[in-house]
Copies of this chain bind each other. A is one copy, B any other.
Amino acid sequence: MDENLLDDLVAANRILAEYGVIDAYGHVSIRSPDDPKRFFLARAIAPETVQREDILEYDLDAHALDARGRESVSERFIHSEIYRVRPDVIAVVHNHSPSVVPFSVTGVKMRALFHMASFIGDGLPNFEIRKAKKGSDLLVRTPQLGVALAKTLGKKPAALMRGHGSVVTGENLQRAVGRSIYLEMSARMQMQAMMLSRNITFLDAAEVKASAPVQDYKRAWPLWRQKALAKAKVER
């Protein structure tokens, strides 16, 4: 893969950790620009320590092409099954976004109320893993669970995962990362708004639609990327 793209993915791992969106167990992937049936994802280490050599290439069955002893994350099926059914998706983030979890366990709908997270639109689906498998450890560790999650996601940009976190997609990496950061922020804002009042003005459908092209996180991305890669370099 192109070195620049590898660096993008290294940066994405570190940005998400820096912003508290992923802990040691989140992950982020990018579809291969050379082959839409392939994607790149770091091996099973804490994202804030990822370097270029930690990144593996996978096919859509989530098989690593050249693992050379590097351990894959068990939840890689989140990525593979979404890429399989969503050709528009170029990047996928799976996180344990702390302020999103309370929504996932109460079924209270997240809705767009902050323009930077307008992609939430009129709500995000919530993946109840129990419907696909009873008595699970909540992890999406099989192709079947990946399929079920992708089905819950449908055509939406993101889905909550009950008691676990969320999955966020983007038509490019910076969108998947930016959306993850602002999803966390929007969740906090919505909790606070709900404590203040029952009467909340959410973005309406036309506003959501108008915001979509603008909210590309293009101004934030170079700053985020540069800081992350500077840190990666120091840690080599």
Contact = CB atoms under 8 A, between A and B. Distances in A.
Given A46-B223, A48-B223, A115 B137 contact: yes
Contacts of A233: none
Interface string A142-165: 000000000000000000001110
A4 to B, nearest CB: 20
A219 interface: yes
Interface in A157-185: 162-164, 185
A221 B189 CA distance: 29
> Which of A137, A164, A217 has the most chain B CB within a 10 Å cutoff?
A137
A110 to B, nearest CB: 10
Given A25-B220, A135-B206, A192-B99, A113 B163 contact: yes
Nearest to A221: B24
B106 A189 contact: no
B196 A102 contact: yes
Contacts of A136: 207, 210
A197 B106 CA distance: 6
Contacts of A195: 102, 191, 194-195
A185 to B, nearest CB: 6
Nearest to A195: B195
B139 A214 contact: yes
A148 to B, nearest CB: 16
Given A137-B210, A163-B113, A201-B162, A189 B101 contact: yes
Contacts of A32: none
Given A102-B195, A106-B199, A108-B196, 16 more contacts: A24-B220, A24-B223, A46-B223, A105-B113, A105-B189, A105-B193, A107-B201, A130-B207, A135-B209, A136-B207, A137-B214, A138-B207, A139-B214, A162-B201, A163-B202, A163-B207
Question: Which 9 A-B pairs give the minimum distances between C-beta atoms?
Answer: A135-B206, A24-B220, A106-B197, A46-B223, A102-B192, A115-B138, A102-B193, A137-B210, A137-B211
20 contacts: A24-B217, A24-B219, A25-B116, A25-B219, A46-B222, A49-B223, A98-B189, A101-B193, A106-B196, A106-B199, A107-B201, A113-B163, A115-B139, A136-B207, A136-B210, A137-B207, A137-B210, A137-B215, A139-B214, A194-B195
